[in-house]
Structure 1
Amino acid sequence: MTTSRQNKRKNKTRRKILYTVLIVAMVLLSGVIVFATNLSFQTKNAVNKIYEPLDREKEEQNEAIEKFDNAKAEDSAFTILLAGIENEEKAKYGRSDVLLVATVNPKTNKISMVSIPRDTRVYIPDLGYNDKINHSYANGGINYTINTIEEMLDIPIDYYVSTDFQGFEDIVDTVGGIDVEVPFTFKAQLTGSLKWKTYTEGPMELNGNEALAYVRMRKSDPQGDIGRNNRQKQVIKEIIDRGTSISNITKIDDMIEDIGNNVKTNIPSSEYLGLIKTYQKIKSSPIEQLQLKGVDDTRRGVYYFIPDEEGLEELSEQLKLNLKDFGNNAQTDSKKSTKVTDLTIGE
């Protein structure tokens, strides 16, 4: 009799514990849903400040959005252009100082990345002649630049993020600064204060103003543009890692609000959280660092970087390879398709 009563008490206690656990779980789940809904709503409002579709998207807005939504549902690969803009007084657009193209494939967990030197001599289709690639932005903004890069690399550019120098500083400061591995000791002049900053070989923590000087310095780099491009890639990856961290995701609406006056993108607000999840999934994978091969040249007293035609074709093929859909066995199939990983063209 006593044993039976004890068993009943134990069962009651277990039920109470179970009910308590279920209630706590439901409260936590409700909190997550409310937070996610609120975050999405706030992000959508904040992103209106930075959303700037391309001209071709304005003409076919519904078709472009539908196409992207279908692609995202299938985890298709995509391309993104990161453009750093040097604003000039009395200039409508300024000039592109940094151009970095990345292809992202969620199925193969792979990112391929290449920097295009600002003095690269290319054909600018909207102008109808060859010139420095940064002049494409100076003449027609991001639309001319994307058309030029698509012509040059023979790949589509799905998305872009452009920022001026102040926007770049704001981004770095908003994510709490960045940690970099300085390849060699050098000095660079900071914008605004014009003070000289010493960057010591090894790990360093940089704020926005310091990070800008770090990625812009070229003359003291023994590798010239190649070294500068490598530092740009290093900083971009660190910014994305910081920006997509759990601690910063909760502040995404504030982050967008802070950078809204100096950053533009054609990424719809509805896709922000999805892209963050995609990057969190693949960010631990090594980035395939590609390099554009070419030679320095001076024509009529003007410096140009002339791309090597064979190297450019090889670079284009590597980028296209990362955009291919390898199906369900993506990792295995991609390894069969190429024996080269972390390829650097032209080094």
Structure 2
Amino acid sequence: MKVFLKVFIIAFICFFLIFNGLVWGFNYYMKDNHVGSGTVVPVIEEGQENLEPDEIDELMKIVNESSRINFVLLGLEGLRSDTIMFVSFDPDIKKIDLISIPRDTYYPRAGYNGIGKKKFNSVYGDHGAIGVKTALSDILLDIPVDYYVTVTYSGAESIINSIGGVPVYISHLMDYEDPYDDPPLKIYFEPGHHVLNGEDGVKFLRYRQATPGSEGVSYADGDLGRIKAQQEFMKSAIKKTLSFRLPSVVTTAFKFVRTDINLQDAVVYATKAIGLEMENVSINVLPGEPKYHGRTSYFVHDIEETRNLLLKIYGYEEDTDN
């Protein structure tokens, strides 16, 4: 019996060390490999809108009392984040809230004075995914951004294919061509119902405007129109995903993304999301409007309305007794 116990204990320790070594290696190599340089230092400009201290305290109080897990989803086009989404999951009530962040959101940083550098989608190239977490938390009034998830075009293709494509309704002719892209890009979709595979799904998500002279239709409100189309695609993809076993979908997706969520936590969160219904998925856009700074158009977010949206997401109920 003593010999058996000794062998069992030694075998168990060996298994434990090997297993933990594999998990450590997996989690280590899942990190995004673009680190960037320096820390994000936002520029406080003269006349910039600010909240009152009691407004900030009220928001932070309900955030600190919440068990929500927040992360930023980045769809990457080289060193620029072509798609940016804040995703907040409440495991207690099985609810997901998303906020699309326009890529042209005005975000000036100390030491980065070029025109393009004042747009939020340039943060990733300069500071990596960790820097994006810091910058997004700043825009969202210090709401914590716990994790990042980055995915490239090829990764998005694979994930879409893994769930059997995504059904979408396309309301207008999409016709765009860029022979200088690598590889050359051709987007063409007739209006109507489609089930888009990975390659076509990525093309749909990338579409912004028609090629001049073609019969294609550009989004009337530019990048905001593109965001709305991306949100509809995401709703359809989430609905399709919920028909699968969610933990297995997360495990599959891990092959194609880079993230600082470790595998153990991802499976735990996915397990907690089992039973999630589409009516508990809310998709929003960062409040604000396009404005010009000099000769360049940016999207300038509204701080007060951003606070109101975050209060709503975190379930704040105004006291009507007073």
Structure 2 equivalent of residue 216 of structure 1: 206
Task: Pick closer, same or farther for the CA change 1:228–1:338 going to 2, 3 Å.
Answer: farther
Q: Please give the alpha-carbon distance, in whole angstroms, between the structure 2 residues aligned to 1:237 and 1:170.
A: 18
1:323 pairs, out of 311, 314, 319, with 314
Task: Pick closer, same or farther for the CA change 1:305–1:252 going to 2, 3 Å.
Answer: closer
Task: Pick closer, same or farther for the CA change 1:50–1:181 going to 2, 3 Å.
Answer: farther
Percent identity over the alignment?
A: 23
Structure 1 equivalent of residue 98 of structure 2: 113
Q: Please give the alpha-carbon distance, in whole angstroms, between the structure 2 residues aligned to 1:43 and 1:171.
A: 22
Q: Secondary structure at the match of 1:81?
A: strand
2:160 pairs, out of 172, 177, 193, with 172
Q: Please give the alpha-carbon distance, in whole angstroms, between the structure 1 residues aligned to 2:235 and 2:23.
A: 22
Residues 170-219 of structure 1 show CA distances to partners (whole Å, capped at 9, x for unaligned) of 22123322112324332244876646443343421111121111112122
Task: Pick closer, same or farther for the CA change 1:249–1:147 going to 2, 3 Å.
Answer: closer
Q: Please give the alpha-carbon distance, in whole angstroms, between the structure 1 residues aligned to 2:202 and 2:222.
A: 17
List aligned pairs for 1:89-108, cutoff 5 A: 94-108=79-93
Tell me which structure has the larger Cα radius of gyration. Answer: 1
Q: Please give the alpha-carbon distance, in whole angstroms, between the structure 2 residues aligned to 1:243 and 1:267.
A: 20
Q: Please give the alpha-carbon distance, in whole angstroms, between the structure 2 residues aligned to 1:279 and 1:125.
A: 40
1:102 touches 1:111 (CA, 8 Å); kept in 2?
yes
Structure 1 equivalent of residue 121 of structure 2: 134
2:163 touches 2:241 (CA, 8 Å); kept in 1?
yes
List aligned pairs for 1:229-248, cutoff 5 A: 229-243=227-241, 245-246=243-244
Question: Are positions 1:204 and 2:204 aligned together?
Answer: no
Q: Secondary structure at the match of 2:300?
A: strand
Question: Are positions 1:281 and 2:275 aligned together?
Answer: yes
Question: Are positions 1:163 and 2:151 aligned together?
Answer: yes
2:246 touches 2:271 (CA, 8 Å); kept in 1?
no
Question: Are positions 1:264 and 2:258 aligned together?
Answer: yes
Q: Secondary structure at the match of 1:84?
A: strand
Q: Secondary structure at the match of 2:144?
A: coil
Deviation of the 1:286 alpha carbon: 4.2
Q: Secondary structure at the match of 1:273?
A: helix
Deviation of the 1:81 alpha carbon: 0.9
Q: Please give the alpha-carbon distance, in whole angstroms, between the structure 1 residues aligned to 2:102 and 2:228.
A: 11
1:125 touches 1:148 (CA, 8 Å); kept in 2?
no
Structure 2 equivalent of residue 78 of structure 1: 69
Letter in 2 for 1:83: L
Q: Please give the alpha-carbon distance, in whole angstroms, between the structure 2 residues aligned to 1:44 and 1:240.
A: 29
Q: Secondary structure at the match of 2:84?
A: strand
**Which consecutive residues of structure 2, in runs of 5 or more, have no partner in the other structure?**
1-19, 36-64, 210-217
Deviation of the 1:54 alpha carbon: 11
1:46 touches 1:253 (CA, 8 Å); kept in 2?
no
Deviation of the 1:123 alpha carbon: 3.8
**TM value normalised by structure 1:** 0.62
Alignment length, in residue pairs?
Answer: 259
CA RMSD of aligned residues (A): 3.6
Task: Pick closer, same or farther for the CA change 1:250–1:109 going to 2, 3 Å.
Answer: closer
